[in-house]
Structure 1
């Protein structure tokens, strides 16, 4: 999965550490970001309709991206299971 840096910085920001990443799979968009309304160590997952500012990790960006993909795959599997009719 290819992640793109989607960070934005203020003009006065001298240390431009990437803090927002996005990956797409078709129309599905997965965003892992540091958010101003959360602890600075938190990585937040946004992937509608399942995740809206959900703290996913306090580790590195790579750890947060990996955790995000795992969480989204789990939700996709749950959704597919709910759509699969019970065959008797």
Structure 2
């Protein structure tokens, strides 16, 4: 096996691991399994982590990650 092939496979495996871990983290926030994270879902999880954020802070987090401006964060950016 060539070194280049091994490097390519290592990179591919790392990318797959990252996607899997990212999907798992996303699913923690996506309480209803809809494939999106709403402001309420984000608030619930953050509160369970001891982060009592204001509505303005939650709204800002959603705005920053909401790529299609529908008021939620979707999982389309996770490349699997």
Give TM-score, length-normalised by structure 1.
Answer: 0.29
Larger radius of gyration: 2
Tell which has more relative contact order, 1 or 2 (C-alpha 8 A, sep 6+).
2
Larger strand percent = 1
Give TM-score, length-normalised by structure 2.
Answer: 0.31
Larger helix percent = 2
